[in-house]
């Protein structure tokens, strides 16, 4: 694949090209399977470097939960854990770059990958980070709103009390039902605008709006298959957080590498 980002690092995209929404391919179940296999292969090719990104993501999750406990914000632990995978695509930027170079047979070291990630602040990736964090903030805010409406009389002095109220009381069940519906909607929106946009912004000189539109087109062209892919990501990430977030050391890199390969199959290469 010919790309303007070839070389030691992508060029500074200070004036990204506009109106460059590319054609998209229909994604099949075979593409998902092949992408997962390629992602696992990339992980095995550089296990320590790949695992570093998973470890960093897991450590951030552990620190985030500890801060919530320290601040006494027990009610935020569950919504924060559920919403935590929403920021995974941005955290996987370094993994996309690794897969890009592995696919081209390019050698690289730690500084190459970290430099590319740092350079994204000069490009459109920062806007995608804003979109991601904004939707995460909306998710947390709506959880707090429905807690105030439905569970204003409940006591959340400890995590056990919060869990009992949410899972074993009628008001808690209503809260879970509403939260699940809203969370599913927000997750679907964020997945649709980022699943292809993140690796595309790293790979090409384009603006974040065009990248989001391309991502949405990929999802709408193959809704069932992409829904399955979103479910695979969500369920795998949530299960990986059960053992103190440590499962993310392995699953985040594999899914990140796989996402790059799925992007390659979904969006035709730039013609030279």
Q: What does the DSSP assignment read for the chain?
A: ---TT-SSSPPP-SS--SS-PPP-PPP-HHHHHHHHHHHHHHHHHSHHHHHHHHHHHHHHHHHHHHHHHHHT-GGGHHHHHHHGGGGHHHHTHHHHHHHHHHHHT----HHHHHHHHHHGGGSSHHHHHHHHHHHHHHHHHHHHHHHHHHSTT---SSHHHHHHHHHHSHHHHHHHHHHHHHHHHHHHHHHHHHTTHHHHHHHSS--HHHHHHHHHHHHHHSHHHHHHHHHHHHHHHHHHHTTTTTTHHHHHHHHHHHHHHHHHHHSPPPP-
Amino acid 120: pLDDT: 64
Amino acid 25: pLDDT: 93
Q: Where are the domains of the chain?
A: 29-110+119-266
Q: Would you say 200 and 89 are in contact if contact means Cβ atoms under 8 Å apart? A: no
Amino acid 16: pLDDT: 45
Q: Would you say 114 and 94 are in contact if contact means Cβ atoms under 8 Å apart? A: yes
Amino acid 86: pLDDT: 73
pLDDT tens, residue order, the chain (272 aa): 444 444 445 444 444 444 456 889 999 999 999 999 999 999 999 999 999 999 988 898 888 888 888 887 777 777 777 777 777 777 788 899 999 999 999 888 888 888 876 676 566 777 887 888 888 888 888 888 888 888 776 666 667 777 788 888 888 889 888 988 888 888 889 889 989 998 998 888 888 899 999 999 999 999 999 999 999 998 898 889 888 788 999 999 999 999 999 999 999 887 64
Instruction: For 250-265, give one letter per residue: b (16+ CB within 10 A) or e.
Output: bbbbbbbbbbbbbbbb
Q: What's the rounded Cα separation, in Å, for the pair 158 and 148? A: 17
Q: Would you say 184 and 161 are in contact if contact means Cβ atoms under 8 Å apart? A: no
Supply the pTM of this predicted model: 0.82
End-to-end CA, the chain: 9
């Amino acid at each position: 694949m010919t790309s303007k980002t070839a070389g030691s690092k992508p060029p500074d995209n200070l004036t990204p090209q506009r109106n460059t929404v590319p054609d998209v391919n229909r994604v099949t179940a075979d593409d998902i399977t092949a992408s997962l296999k390629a992602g696992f292969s990339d992980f095995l090719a550089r296990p320590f470097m790949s695992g570093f990104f998973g470890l960093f993501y897991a450590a951030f999750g552990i620190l985030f939960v500890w801060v919530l406990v320290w601040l006494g914000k027990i009610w935020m632990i569950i919504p924060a854990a559920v919403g935590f995978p929403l920021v995974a695509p941005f955290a996987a930027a370094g993994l996309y770059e690794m897969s890009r170079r592995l696919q081209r047979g390019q050698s690289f070291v730690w500084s190459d990958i970290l430099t590319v990630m740092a350079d994204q602040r000069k490009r459109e990736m920062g806007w995608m980070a804003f979109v991601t964090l904004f939707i995460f903030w909306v998710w947390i805010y709506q959880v707090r709103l429905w807690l105030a409406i439905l569970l204003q009389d409940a006591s959340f002095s400890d995590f056990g009390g919060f869990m009992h109220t949410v899972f074993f009381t009628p008001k808690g069940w209503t809260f879970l039902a509403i939260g699940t519906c809203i969370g599913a909607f927000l997750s679907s929106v964020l997945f649709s605008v980022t699943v292809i946009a993140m690796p595309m912004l790293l790979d090409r000189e384009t603006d974040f709006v065009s990248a989001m539109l391309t991502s949405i087109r990929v999802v709408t062209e193959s809704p069932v298959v992409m829904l399955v892919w979103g479910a695979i990501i969500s369920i795998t990430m949530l299960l990986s957080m059960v053992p103190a977030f440590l499962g993310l050391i392995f699953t985040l890199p594999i899914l990140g590498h796989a996402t790059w390969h799925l992007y390659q199959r979904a969006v035709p290469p730039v013609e030279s």
